[in-house]
Amino acid sequence: MRTNMPTSLFRKSLLGLTVAAAMSAAHAQTAEVEVLHWWTSGGEARAANVLKELMEAEGYGWEDFAVAGGGGETAMTVLKSRAMSGNPPSAAQIKGPEIQEWGELGLLGSLEEVAMAEGWDDLLPAVVSDVMKHDGEYVAVPVNVHRVNWLWANPEVLDEAGVEMPTTLDELFAAGEAIREAGYIPLAHGGQAWQDATVFESVLLATGGTEFYQQALVELDEEALGSEQMVEALETFKRLRELMDEDMSGRDWNIATSMVINGDAGMQLMGDWAKGEFTAAGLTAGEDYLCAAAPGTQEAFTFNIDSLAMFRVEGEEQEAQHALARLVLEPTFQETFNLAKGSIPARPDLDMSEFDQCAQQSLEDFQRTAEAGGLVPSMAHGMAVRADVQGAIFDVVTNYFNSRDMAAEEAARRMVNAAQAAL
Ligand code: GAL
């Protein structure tokens, strides 16, 4: 199976690894880091491996603490029990407002030494670095910027159905019908709460716009949560069920992506970690698969920044942890990891010429929406609200989506309660 990593970059990273390995050969492999993450799909595992190899090339050990489960809910549960027993890993994929929650517990260690030496404040946009700091000090390091509001499609299936990539929700429903008539599953989906929420937030963005998204899913404004616009978003979201197949319950997101890859399904609404799966399958963007902003959300960008937060550790483990933090923001990791992961680099100063057209579009849209006010944090991916609020919203969204008889008005009322209960 061929990989999509451009040869020059591949050579560069190999060369980097060899030089670093030679330099560190003299040191015995002493210190190690244990890193918790949930990057277990084909594309994700390839990406995570980049960091492992870079650490090992510098002479550090890597203990993989991978907990399967898209969206990371299970990983977070496991992390909490490890932390409660006083034995947290050196680093963990913790994102958004949750970084503050862990910081408040006094469990995270400062990365200021590394950040100062490497000039992180100058490298990172404030929208990114602010999230990484607790009490004014870096406690986490960003690995990437994912965009959540994407639509992926198999061009052969679209051709067979005689449709183009949909740009509005109406076009999506019409294309879906044509795809079904041509004998394929219109929309690949996995019936898991976080995937339901991922699709829901893109629909809400399309029907209500970024201002409404911000009010409802970020500020948790009660009026917005219980409004007519919310009812409309919920109803439209539920109509999407008609485009999904009957076996979706419990299906993992990457299995849904493979249905698009194999040509069983036409499209998938999913963040750009899905691109990691297309890439791992040796496919080329724009030829073998298509990407576009989720229908009706061209003017918006739902961001999801993966980051590694560092727990308070000492001695050699801290030395290894600091090396990990430094490597994560270096160009080699940022380029190689993000090519495999489907995201764009967290630092905006890198040469993007090796990246495919979806990543180029992601970067352009990130910058454009940041200026025009369409850049919003993903609720479904832990960027917008605290974990307990997010969990309560997930419950409402998923129960409504799976209920035969719950009215959208009732679901909207429950949305208000979800936000209140969590205050
Ligand atoms: C997101 C995470 C991504 C990807 C995805 C599927 O929450 O930010 O890195 O792993 O879940 O598991």
- Condensed to tens digits (0 to 9), the pLDDT of residues 188-215 reads 999 999 999 999 999 999 999 999 999 9
Of residues 22 and 379, which shows the higher confidence score?
Answer: 379
Residue 415, pLDDT > 80, answer yes
Q: What residue ranges of the chain are covered by domains with CATH 3.40.190.10?
A: 8-144+304-367, 147-302+374-422
Give the Cα separation of 252 and 82 in Å (integer): 25
Distance of CA 262 to the CA centre of its chain: 23
At 422 the pLDDT is 65
Q: CB of 150 closer than 6 A to ligand 1?
A: no
Q: Say what the pTM is.
A: 0.92
The class that CATH gives domain 147-302+374-422 is alpha beta
Of residues 206 and 15, which shows the higher confidence score?
Answer: 206
Number of H helices, E strands in the chain: 19, 14
Residue 180, pLDDT > 60, answer yes
If you ran DSSP here, which 8-state letter would residue 294 be given?
Answer: P
Give the Cα separation of 241 and 238 in Å (integer): 6
109 phi and psi angles, rounded to 5 deg = -100, 155
Residues 206-233 have a mean pLDDT of 98
Residues 54-61 have a mean pLDDT of 97
Residues 94-122 have a mean pLDDT of 97
Tokens of 366: 């990130």
Pick the atom of ligand 1 nearest to 39's CA: 10
Selection from 383, 386, 344 nearest residue 95 by Cα: 383
Which residue has the least CA distance to atom 9 on ligand 1?
A: 306
In the chain, the amino acid numbered 369 is: T
Residue 169, pLDDT > 60, answer yes
Instruction: Kindly give the interhelix angle for 228-239 and 408-421, rounded to the nearest 10 degrees.
Output: 120
Give the Cα separation of 27 and 46 in Å (integer): 27
Is the separation of the CB atoms in 180 and 247 below 8 Å? no
Name the average pLDDT for the chain: 94
Q: CB of 38 closer than 6 A to ligand 1?
A: yes
Which residue has the least CA distance to atom 2 on ligand 1?
A: 71
Confidence of residue 177 (pLDDT cuts 50, 70, 90): very high
Give 37 Cα–ligand 1 centroid separation in angstroms.
Answer: 9
Selection from 288, 253, 294 nearest residue 274 by Cα: 253
Q: CB of 277 closer than 6 A to ligand 1?
A: no
Tell me if residue 99 falls in helix, strand or coil: helix
Site to probe by mutation for ligand 1, drawn from 95, 304, 337, 390 as the one with most ligand atoms within 8 Å of Cβ, is 304
- The bridge status of strand 61-66 relative to strand 32-37 is parallel
At 423 the pLDDT is 61
Give the Cα separation of 41 and 62 in Å (integer): 19
Q: CB of 37 closer than 6 A to ligand 1?
A: no
At 237 the pLDDT is 98
Which residue has the least CA distance to atom 6 on ligand 1?
A: 70
At 1 the pLDDT is 36
Residues 282-293 have a mean pLDDT of 98
Q: Using a CB cutoff of 8 Å and minimum separation of 24, what contacts does 364-369 make?
A: 365/147, 365/293, 365/301, 366/145, 366/147, 366/301, 366/303, 369/299, 369/300, 369/301
107 phi and psi angles, rounded to 5 deg = -95, -10
Is the separation of the CB atoms in 192 and 248 below 8 Å? no
Residues 221-245 have a mean pLDDT of 98
Give the Cα separation of 34 and 89 in Å (integer): 5
Cβ-Cβ contacts under 8 Å for 127 (sequence gap 6 or more): 370, 375
Which residue has the least CA distance to atom 12 on ligand 1?
A: 70
Confidence of residue 254 (pLDDT cuts 50, 70, 90): very high
- Strand-pairing partners, residue 61, are 32
Half-sphere exposure of 217 (CA within 13 A, CB side): 33
Residue 37, pLDDT > 90, answer yes
Site to probe by mutation for ligand 1, drawn from 39, 196, 252 as the one with most ligand atoms within 8 Å of Cβ, is 39
Q: CB of 71 closer than 6 A to ligand 1?
A: yes
Pick the atom of ligand 1 nearest to 306's CA: 8
**Could you tell me the CATH superfamily of domain 8-144+304-367?**
Periplasmic binding protein-like II (3.40.190.10)
At 151 the pLDDT is 99
Give 70 Cα–ligand 1 centroid separation in angstroms.
Answer: 6
Q: CB of 194 closer than 6 A to ligand 1?
A: no
Residue 361, pLDDT > 90, answer yes
Pick the atom of ligand 1 nearest to 144's CA: 9
At 9 the pLDDT is 47
Residues 270-294 have a mean pLDDT of 98
Which residue has the least CA distance to atom 7 on ligand 1?
A: 71
At 30 the pLDDT is 73
Q: CB of 147 closer than 6 A to ligand 1?
A: no
Residue 232, pLDDT > 50, answer yes
